[in-house]
Amino acid sequence: MSKIFKIMGELNSSTMVAMVEEFVGKPVDEGYNVVVNSEGGDSEVFFAFYDITRRHRRDHLLSTLAIGEVCSGAPVIVASGSPGMRYSFQHTMFGMHEPYMSSTSDDPAVLQSELQCLQSNIDRFYSMLSSVTETSVATWRKRLKGKSMVYFDAKAALKWKLIDEVIE
């Protein structure tokens, strides 16, 4: 029997704590159905989700379901499900934007370094998770450049291989 893990609302330190408590240090003998409805939030949370759930994904024990609004870093979480087990309801709204960050540093060199690191991680994650080429990642970048958010529906998410099936 699979467990249900819900990610609802902003991706923040509370989400991170819940993920660690649920997934870290436990045997990988049960599947998880992860339900996602999130406007996004801290990038560290979706990177951590990918890393923490790697064993479940590899053993085909991680199903993801997008509902409602799935924006910013939340599409990465949905795409992190095991291949063939990534779903969305038909009326789910997805949204993506260029990465941005806040920093406590006023040093332009530090800010530039942080942004380059974040941009590189985003590119690798979307390339890996959506099974698209680096060229397609460049296309996403071009599509998102200078826009605060690009919204798309579940059928577009399926086309971009962020999900495997639209539930109608």
How many other C-beta atoms are found inside a 10 Å radius of the C-beta of residue 71?
A: 20
72: CATH: 3.90.226.10
As a whole number of angstroms, the distance between CA 40 and CA 122 comes to: 14
For the whole model, what pTM was predicted? 0.83
pLDDT in tens, 7-61: 999 999 899 899 989 888 777 777 899 999 999 988 788 888 888 888 887 788 8
pLDDT in tens, 58-69: 788 899 999 999
Cβ pair 71, 96 in contact under 8 A:
yes
Cβ pair 71, 38 in contact under 8 A:
yes
pLDDT in tens, 67-120: 999 998 899 899 888 889 999 999 999 998 876 666 778 888 988 888 888 778
Domain count for the chain: 1
Q: Would you state the structure tokens that stand for residue 116, as one six-digit string?
A: 């380059």
Domain boundaries, position 41: 3-167
